[in-house]
């Protein structure tokens, strides 16, 4: 089992550009979570899906952020347009039964 796969691992972009982060969850898991980690705010949930349906997006900071899960094996988190304050590590987690979550390696985003 390859675990949760995220790409890219690092992304450096300029303010105003569109950024797309990708996640492949563990096969058979029916929940997927996007978290963001910053020094100031720690680890915070952005959005999560259950059976490909968005359940709670209350953590999405603003309309510039959007997430999709077109099928059980793929999800994207898009930021458009990006701003320097979006710089963070973005984690995708795959949800197993009993609320257990396995995290991907993260994408370190830097917006200049």
Partner 1 sequence: AQKVTQAQTEISVVEKEDVTLDCVYETRDTTYYLFWYKQPPSGELVFLIRRNSFDEQNEISGRYSWNFQKSTSSFNFTITASQVVDSAVYFCALSVGYNQGGKLIFGQGTELSVKP
Q: Which residues bind partner 1 (CB under 8 A)?
A: 30-31, 33, 35, 42-45, 48, 50, 55-56, 89, 91, 93, 95, 97-103, 105-106, 108
Residue with smaller CB distance to partner 1, 14 or 44: 44
Query: What is the closest distance, in whole angstroms, from the C-beta atom of residue 98 to partner 1 in the complex?
Result: 6
Q: Which residue, 86 or 106, has its beta carbon nearer to partner 1?
A: 106
Are 78 and 66 spatial neighbours (Cβ–Cβ below 8 Å)? Answer: yes
- What is d(CA 82, CA 72) in angstroms, rounded to the nearest whole number? 27
Q: What angle do CA 27, 32, 37 make, to 5 degrees?
A: 125
Q: Read off φ and ψ for residue 49, nearest 5 degrees.
A: -120, 145
Which residue lies nearer to partner 1 by CB, 52 or 81?
A: 52
* CB nearer to partner 1: pick between 31 and 75: 31
Label residue 82 exposed, middle or buried (CB < 10 Å: 0-12, 13-18, 19+): buried
Residue 16 CB, nearest approach to partner 1 (Å): 27
């Amino acid at each position: 089992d390859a675990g949760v796969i995220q790409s890219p691992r690092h992304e450096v972009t300029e303010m105003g550009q569109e950024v797309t982060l990708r996640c492949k969850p563990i096969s058979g898991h029916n929940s997927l979570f996007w978290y963001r980690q910053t020094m100031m705010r720690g680890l915070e949930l952005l959005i999560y899906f259950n059976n490909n349906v968005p359940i709670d997006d209350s953590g999405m900071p603003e309309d510039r952020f959007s997430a999709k899960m077109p099928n059980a094996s793929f999800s994207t988190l898009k930021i458009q347009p990006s701003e320097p304050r979006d710089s963070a590590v973005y984690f995708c987690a795959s949800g197993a039964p009993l609320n257990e979550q396995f995290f991907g390696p993260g994408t370190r985003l830097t917006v200049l």
